[in-house]
Each structure stands twice: as structure tokens, then as C-alpha cells.
Amino acid sequence: MKAMVNLRQLEAFVAVVEQRNFTRAAKTLAISQPAVSFLIHSLEEHLGVQLLERLGRQVRLTPAGEVVYAEAKNILAAQERMHEALASLNSLQAGRVVVGASTIPGEYVLPRLAGEFKALYPRVKIALRIGESTKVAEWLLDRTVDLGVVGVTVDNPQLRFTRIFSDELVVVMPAGHPLAAQPEIALEELVKEPFVLRGAGSGTRQIFEHALLEAGLSPDRLNAVMELDTTRAVLSAVEAGVGVSVVSRWAVAELERSLVARPVAGGHLVRELFLAENTVRYMAPAARRFAEYLVEHGPREGALT
């Protein structure tokens, strides 16, 4: 099998055609004239055709040379476009970032941060996929997202989790509920109430159940009357009087006037939110910069400002 035509041969050929002279082409390419002659000869030998007619110090294209010249220009132009595209990516003048996020950061935090990032890098596109923390981990592993923001870590050697901000969970209930008169709510009181749960893969649910266990209360004691996949659905159920629940403080800003939020007694019920990355996957410059932006500018302790 013959070796493929290389770009250096095409560059030399195009230079000779456009300079109409081997000596001037050599100066343009910053190589010696014998090197240019060797490249042209090897190209003609490889293709099995004569490309140039030598007329003294001048050259003229043969019919075969005209065909090769046109295609060589296209190939070299494509190479230049490739380099320009890579330079645009590296300078964040282009790019696309797909972020997987659990419900709380995906609905209440990342849209604002993505908007701020877009103001700095308007030609970078950001797509957001929302799912439970365990689902985001799956997306990272099958490489359908570039990075993730989740409330629960997963024990997998391919994934790295970096704490970027904290989230306080608060009790939410209808304004007329008996517990609404209290400044804070004890976990012991919550197990007595009809309770609206998040899905099993939710970070909110896992943190809440862990807090119950630390307080000596089994999650099985909860009077769970409904299980829902999103915080918005939980708030709607609470507003409808289905039961009380625990949600992120970030969601409190969207509470209807018919709902109130109270902290959990005995200290803040705080969870960490993490930047999740696939350590065996190449991360494009735009995704890497957005990950850095989240670490640098993410809100702290459940406050949006």
C-alpha cells in the first residue's frame, strides 16, 4: 500500500504554483530549494502523474496539475479551518457544555449561574439536563453529560466529586398548619405528620433520612402519604394540604403565600452540593471553564445572593 500524500507535499506544490518559481516557493516555506524539488518529485511519483512543466525558471500546470492544485487548496483550507475552530474552542469563542444536575441546583441555582457565564462567553452554549443525583452519575459514566452538580456522591473510581456549595433543608407546610406557629420544627414532630417524600434517588431525601437516623428516628416511622420526583411537585402537594415536607431553602423563594417554611430544630439541616466529573473523560475547554466558574462563583450556605 502506498503511503498517503502528506500536507507538506501539498504545501510545497501550492507554493510553487502560486509563486511560479521553485526558489521563491522555497523562501515562502522557509526551506531549501532542493527540499522543495524533492517534495514535488515525491508527490508526482506518488500520484503517478506529472504536475508541472518546467519552463526555464518558470513552471506551468499540466491538466493533472490543475486538478491536484484545486483539491490541494481545498485540503489546506480545511486544515486551516480545523486549526481556527480549535483555537476558537480554546479561547471560548465556541463550544457546548451539557450539564446534568439534580433538582435543586438544576432548577434554582444553575440557571442563574449559566446566565452569568453566558454574559462572559456569549458564544458558548449551555444545555441543562435535570434528574435525580443517581441518574446524573449514570449520565456522567455513559458520557451523555460533560459534568454534573449533585447532592449525593457515588462510590465509583471514575467519578470525582468536589464540594462547591451548601444547601439548607427547611420544613414547608400550609400557612394555617399548627406547626407554622413554631419558630423551628423538631424532627420528632415531623414523624407524626402526613409527609410528602421526594424520590428514593433524591439527595434531599437521602440527607433527610440520614438526619432522622442520627436523631434516633427510623425513616420507616414517617407517615409517607405521597412520593414525588421534583421539588415543584412536592410544593404543589403541600399547598394542596396533602402533608408537610422538607425542601431546599433555595425553593423557599418560590413559595406561595399560602405556604410557610421553618428551620429544623437543633441546628441547620445542611447538605453539601458537589461538582461531579468523569475523571477518565476528556473535558473540552468550555466545560472546564464552566466547572471552574461554578467553584469560583457558586452561592454559599443556601443563599442566592
| CATH code for position 157 | 3.40.190.10
Task: Report whether pLDDT(103) > 60.
Answer: yes
* Last residue in a domain, options 43, 59, 90: 90
Final residue of a structural domain among 65, 90, 115: 90
Residues 183 and 265 in one domain: yes
Share of the chain above pLDDT 90, in %: 51
Residue 44 is part of a domain; what is its CATH number?
1.10.10.10
pLDDT reading at 301 higher than 90: no
Q: Are residues 290 and 159 in the same domain?
A: yes
- Domain span including residue 139: 96-165+271-297
CATH code at 221?
Answer: 3.40.190.290
Task: Please tell me whether residues 198 and 249 are part of one structural domain.
Answer: yes
Handedness of CA 7, 11, 17, 23 (dihedral sign): negative
Q: Say which residue, 86 or 162, is predicted with more confidence.
A: 162
- Cβ atoms of residues 69 and 61 within 8 Å: yes
What total number of domains does the chain contain? 3
What is the C-alpha separation between 2 and 18, in angstroms, rounded?
28
pTM of the model: 0.64
Rg, C-alpha atoms of the chain: 32
Residue 299's pLDDT band (cuts 50, 70, 90): low
Q: What is the 3-state secondary structure (H, E, C) of 62-120?
A: CHHHHHHHHHHHHHHHHHHHHHHHHHHHHCCCCCEEEEEECHHHHHHHHHHHHHHHHHH
Domain boundary among 41, 68, 90: 90
Is the same domain home to 52 and 200? Answer: no
| Lowest pLDDT segment from 113-127, 198-212, 243-257 | 243-257
Res 303: pLDDT: 35
Are 202 and 243 members of one domain?
Answer: yes
> Residue 148 is placed in which grid cell?
454534573
Separation between Cα atoms, residue 3 and residue 129, nearest integer Å = 46
50 and 199 belong to one structural domain = no
Indicate whether 200 and 266 sit together in one domain: yes
What rounded mean pLDDT belongs to the chain? 87
Measured CA to CA in angstroms, residue 11 lies from 8, 17, 19, 184 at distances of 5, 10, 12, 75
Question: Do residues 161 and 139 share a domain?
Answer: yes
pLDDT in tens, 179-196: 999 999 999 999 999 999
Residue 170 shares a structural domain with residue 156 = no
Query: Is residue 2 over pLDDT 70?
Result: no
Residue 2: inside a domain, yes or no? no
Same domain as 139, residue 281: yes
Q: Does the pLDDT value for residue 57 go beyond 80?
A: no
Domain co-membership, 151 together with 227: no
